[in-house]
Amino acid sequence: MTPGRPVPPPLARPVLPADTSTPLPGAGLTVAAYGAVSEDSGLVPLTLSRRAPKSDDVEIAIEFCGLCHSDVHATRGEWGSQNYPLVPGHEIVGTVSRVGSAVQDFAPGDRVGVGCMVDSCRECDSCLDGLEQYCEKGMTGTYGAKDARNGDAITQGGYSTSVVVDRRYVVRVPAGLDPAAVAPLLCAGITTFSPLRHFDVEEGDVVGVVGLGGLGHMAVKLAKAMGARVLVFTTSETKVPAALELGADEVILSRDEDAMAAANRSIDLIIDTVAAPHDLNPYFRTLRMDGALFQLGLPADAMPPVNPRSLMRRRLAYAGSMIGGIAETQEMLDFCAEHQVVADIELVSAARLNEAYRRMVEGDVKYRFVLDTSTLQAPAKEADA
Ligand code: NAP
Ligand code: ZN
Ligand code: ZN
């Protein structure tokens, strides 16, 4: 593997000045949604207004939206105060219903996806390098973010029947993949694909995956598709056979000290997806010379300190990574189509969202809940213009 491989160049999409985007004649939609109205409200039925598409916009009739652990952290205020009501959801798959006049790369009926961001400054080095998620001015998240190009409205996510997104942040869902099982690729898939690609994982490399949830199970599938040998570290004894079925070559119970010691110096790259604070030092011991641990989970509480000595001994790197850029997200979807990789999902109705959150926190999901938006109540109707 070659650490630091450059990301693919951004898609050839001309960057238009933002203000050329004018609303289409016609109204926005009033759409059914589920979201939180306070930190402890749980998810309740809500109604949202979506803007009429502007000339660069794509209006999407949402079919499916994955449930990410980040949605739990955010709606419960675990990452700090939020703007409520908050409709979560950033693993969106649907079909295009309307497009603005400047949109040439998408047409009504196309199956498309939207991930964790719906805008960025489009001018900084990160944006110009196709790394919009690291926009120097801050990317605009798909929910709970101020949308500077749309009057500072707070963005609302995919637990809803429709969304309007600038075409630059929309990706194409390849034909031949189950659209419900594609939805989790838009966050869990790209978040694990990006660090695997950054390290140019290839045949012969050994990848460790810590935590077998939504992100973790995608890391296993993607690393296997790249030709790596994969070791899974889990706290759940019940997940051992399932991890092997997913393609893991070995499964280690992380609370078993002897099993952890047996894995010492055997891994090139660790993808850590755990959603709760945990000690990383035992994992550093499992890394080979020049190995790296990418922490992807963002627990609400502080982590135990990393011992610098364990990093120095074998020139190890401790890194973070956040989702992936738009071009890289498209590359990931195309890679998944080529290798027939999708998420293992459990489809849920809107009425079961709160139960799904509870089960996710308890680690009781194999491996991603996906909301079937046809179960959201009120039918979409035209809003006042
Ligand atoms: P998830 O489906 O809930 O999986 C998390 C896994 O962590 C669990 O299945 C469990 O696996 C393990 N775990 C161990 N102890 C735990 C505990 N006390 N509480 C919860 N989980 C525990 O979550 P996810 O959607 O994959 O997200 C994982 C983390 O990544 C979250 O913090 C999320 O916010 C973050 N995230 C980051 C990015 C990014 O861009 N960096 C993107 C998306 C999500 P075992 O049972 O196998 O031990
Ligand atoms: Zn997510
Ligand atoms: Zn930028």
What is the 133 CA–ligand 2 centroid distance (Å)? 13
What is the 229 CA–ligand 1 centroid distance (Å)? 22
> Which ligand has the minimum distance to the alpha carbon of residue 137?
3
Q: What is the mean pLDDT of residues 201-219?
A: 97
| Neighbouring C-beta atoms of residue 351, cutoff 10 Å | 12
Quick check: helix, strand or coil at residue 192? helix
Q: What is the mean pLDDT of residues 228-246?
A: 96
Q: What span, in angstroms and rounded, lies between the C-alpha atoms of 248 and 217?
A: 9
Which residue type is seen at 21? S
Q: What is the mean pLDDT of residues 225-234?
A: 98
69 lines ligand 1 (CB under 6 A): yes
- Looking at residue 159, its pLDDT comes to 98
Question: pLDDT at residue 17 above 60?
Answer: no
Higher per-residue confidence, 275 vs 342? 342
- Looking at residue 363, its pLDDT comes to 87
Give the pLDDT band (50/70/90) at residue 27.
confident
Output the CA angle 160-165-168, nearest 5 degrees. 145
What is the 250 CA–ligand 2 centroid distance (Å)? 26
- Looking at residue 269, its pLDDT comes to 98
Quick one: which of 27, 377, 366 has its CA closest to 184?
A: 366
Protein residues near ligand 2, an ion, with CB under 5 A = 68, 70, 187
CATH number 3.30.300.160 given to 189-320: no
At 72, list the tokens.
Answer: 């739990």
At 62, list the tokens.
Answer: 């949402």
Q: What is the pLDDT of residues 57-70, one digit of tens each?
A: 999 999 999 999 99
The set of residues, in sequence order, having a beta carbon less than 8 Å from that of 127 and lying 6+ positions away, is 120, 121, 135, 136
- Looking at residue 19, its pLDDT comes to 42
pTM, full prediction: 0.93
Q: What is the pLDDT of residues 248-270, one digit of tens each?
A: 999 999 999 999 999 999 999 99
322 lines ligand 1 (CB under 6 A): yes
CB-CB contact of 271 with 195 (8 Å): yes
Residue in 65, 67, 215, 256 to alter for ligand 1 test, most ligand atoms within 8 A of Cβ: 215
CB-CB contact of 94 with 111 (8 Å): yes
Q: What span, in angstroms and rounded, lies between the C-alpha atoms of 138 and 285?
A: 35
CB-CB contact of 115 with 85 (8 Å): no
- Looking at residue 22, its pLDDT comes to 62
Q: What is the pLDDT of residues 102-148, one digit of tens each?
A: 999 999 999 999 999 999 999 999 999 999 999 999 999 999 999 99
Q: What is the mean pLDDT of residues 195-204?
A: 96
Q: What is the mean pLDDT of residues 84-111?
A: 97
Residue limits of CATH 3.40.50.720 in the chain: 189-320
Question: pLDDT at residue 304 above 60?
Answer: yes
> Which ligand has the minimum distance to the alpha carbon of residue 217?
1
Quick one: which of 348, 326, 329, 322 has its CA closest to 66?
A: 348
What is the 280 CA–ligand 1 centroid distance (Å)? 15
Residue limits of CATH 3.90.180.10 in the chain: 18-187+325-382
What's the mean pLDDT when you consider all of the chain?
Answer: 93
Question: pLDDT at residue 12 above 50?
Answer: no
From the options 3.40.640.10, 3.90.1150.10, 3.90.180.10, 3.40.140.10, give the CATH code of 18-187+325-382.
3.90.180.10
